[in-house]
Amino acid sequence: MRNIKKLHKAEYRPIGDLKTWSPLPTRDLQMIDPFIFLNHHGPQEYPPNNNGLPFGPHPHRGMETVTFILDGDITHKDTGGHNSVIEAGGVQWMTAGKGLLHAEVSSEEFKKEGGPLEILQLWVNLPKRLKMTEPHYRGLQKDQISVWKNENGSVSAQVVSGNFKGIRGAFDTPTSVDLSLVHFDKDSEIQLEIPKSDNIFFYVIRGKLEVNEIEVPELHLAEFSRNSEILNIIANENSILLLGHAEPFDEKVVFGGPFVMNSEEEIQQAYEDYKAGKMGSW
């Protein structure tokens, strides 16, 4: 079985009145190549006549954002001409590539009516050869996303990209990244085989899972070695897991706010291009 090197508890980093937990990056863990950032917003209840999500227009370059809407909704708009409202259970995948501006805010209906909100945004790096690719966006509602279930339905997976036990993901992506949102009933279990060459992203959103005989509580990210292909997962409670895996790029990574590149010079160029309007204007 694959060994767990360390468990990392998400750090609480609220954004205004938005509850936010961040397991990556932290002081102890910079990245799990190519997974570089995760914000877990909520769960929380918004009252009627609220201001909604605070993520107004901002730029990105050199990476991808994958957004999971567990509760509430997101209105997405970007300078590539994309505009959508994705509701609970849906997923957005945006390849920033050479750069664009986007906004992720709540719908007018959510701001008026309020309600529960829980959203995760994962950043996936792009390799050097794709840093300046053309931007792309796609948003899918819950019923448009592939689902795998075990025989008695106690474990189900929304297959976002790659494949999960033979079910192909709903999104075609520029790199080989497998991502699924896995739901477990209490006392259910599953065995997975993940290539030893892949890094694993294993974040327990809710509940408590035992993986390879190690308990991983909610709001914890498990960091694995690459000694085996086997994951045995048992749910001690009703649980939700964000599971990803991919071969690492093994390239230098330089962060510059919303830009993720391979050198400081490329970060500086990104800021210059943004200020010059080369990523579009709002």
Q: Is residue 282 part of a domain?
A: no
Give the pLDDT score at 167: 97
- Please count the structural domains in the chain: 1
Kindly indicate the confidence band of residue 248, based on its pLDDT and cuts at 50, 70 and 90.
very high
Give the pLDDT score at 71: 98
Give the pLDDT score at 210: 98
Average pLDDT over residues 8-22: 97
Ligand-binding site membership of 58 (annotated): yes
Q: pTM of whole model > 0.95?
A: yes
Give the pLDDT score at 101: 98
Give the pLDDT score at 263: 98
The mean predicted confidence, pLDDT, of the chain is 97
Average pLDDT over residues 258-269: 98
Ligand-binding site membership of 113 (annotated): no
Kindly indicate the confidence band of residue 216, based on its pLDDT and cuts at 50, 70 and 90.
very high
Q: 94 has which bridge partners?
A: 65, 137
- Return d(Cα 181, Cα 199) in angstroms, integer: 17
**Nearest one of 216, 261, 211 to 234, comparing CA atoms:** 211
Q: Using alpha carbons, list the distances in angstroms from residue 18 to 43, 54, 92, 115, 140.
A: 9, 8, 20, 13, 24
Q: Is residue 281 part of a domain?
A: no
Average pLDDT over residues 217-222: 98
CATH code: domain of residue 246: 2.60.120.10
Kindly indicate the confidence band of residue 228, based on its pLDDT and cuts at 50, 70 and 90.
very high
Query: In the chain, which ranges are continuous DSSP H helix?
Result: 108-113, 264-275
Q: Is the dihedral of CA 222, 172, 138, 80 positive or negative?
A: positive
Residue pLDDT, tens place only, 267-278: 999 999 999 999
Give the pLDDT score at 47: 97
DSSP designation for 204: E
Give the pLDDT score at 64: 98
Q: What strands lie across the sheet with 4-9, from one edge to the other? A: 4-9, 220-224, 199-206, 239-246, 177-184, 155-161, 146-149
Q: Please give the residue range of the domain that contains residue 213.
A: 4-275
- Joined tokens for residue 261: 């590149």
- Return d(Cα 203, Cα 10) in angstroms, integer: 9
Average pLDDT over residues 256-275: 98
Report the alpha-carbon angle 29-35-39, nearest 5.
Answer: 75
Q: Is residue 280 part of a domain?
A: no
Residue pLDDT, tens place only, 29-83: 999 999 999 999 999 999 999 999 999 999 999 999 999 999 999 999 999 999 9
By CB neighbour count within 10 A (0-12 exposed, 13-18 middle, 19+ buried), where does 155 fall? buried
Average pLDDT over residues 96-125: 98
Residues 6+ apart with CB under 8 A from 260: 36, 61, 62, 63, 123, 125, 126, 253, 254
Ligand-binding site membership of 102 (annotated): yes
Give the pLDDT score at 227: 94
181: how many CB neighbours lie within 10 A of its CB? 23
Kindly indicate the confidence band of residue 13, based on its pLDDT and cuts at 50, 70 and 90.
very high
* Helix%, strand%, coil% for the chain, nearest 5: 10, 55, 40
Give the pLDDT score at 45: 98
Q: Is residue 86 part of a domain?
A: yes
Ligand-binding site membership of 104 (annotated): yes
- Return d(Cα 157, Cα 182) in angstroms, integer: 4
Give the pLDDT score at 242: 98
DSSP E strand stretches across 10-80:
11-12, 20-24, 35-46, 55-60, 63-71, 73-78
- Return d(Cα 98, Cα 131) in angstroms, integer: 6
Q: Is residue 76 part of a domain?
A: yes
What percent of the chain stands above pLDDT 90? 99
**Nearest one of 258, 253, 245 to 163, comparing CA atoms:** 245
Kindly indicate the confidence band of residue 212, based on its pLDDT and cuts at 50, 70 and 90.
very high
Q: Is the dihedral of CA 67, 101, 260, 262 positive or negative?
A: positive
